[in-house]
Amino acid sequence: MTEQTTSLGVFDLDSEAETASLINKLKRRSGRLEVVLRPWRARRSNAQNRYYWGVVMVYCAFAWKCTAEEAHERVKLKFCGVPKFIAGAYEIHPGSTADLDTAQFKQLLEAIQKDVAAEYNVYIPDPNEPIFDDE
């Protein structure tokens, strides 16, 4: 049996109208459910995601002589790595880029740009920066 997760949306609990809307949505549910509340934060945007895969990972793959997917794995390890204590020693394991909010993701992109420029002398254009002279 597959567990299904459904988001009811984002609600500002300081707003009476939004709180009432949430209560109404909950009243329409039945059965035993787990309700999780967490602070809202902006997730990375579709534009950031397109720039990451369409520009940053392409340039990284070129610099690192690998595929874009391999470059992504390298970024997760190098820039988002999580130390884990295993068998008496710390090891760095890949972190997630998907968990970053828009500001954190922007910082990640800037760190990648600086690193690739310094280590491999490869310039990664900024978002919306023309790549070709005639643009």
* 3-state secondary structure (DSSP) of residue 70: helix
Average pLDDT of span 95-113: 92
In a domain, 32, yes or no: no
What CA–CA distance (Å, rounded) separates 52 from 49?
5
Identify whether 2 is part of a domain.
no
Q: Is residue 99 part of a domain?
A: yes
Residue 1 clears pLDDT 60, i.e. is over it? no
Encode pLDDT of 30-78 as tens digits: 888 888 888 887 788 888 999 999 999 999 999 999 999 999 999 999 9
In-domain check, residue 28: no
For residue 64, the enclosing domain spans: 46-120
pLDDT number for residue 2: 55
CA gap 48, 45 in Å, rounded? 5
Number of domains in the chain: 1
60, part of any domain: yes
In-domain check, residue 85? yes
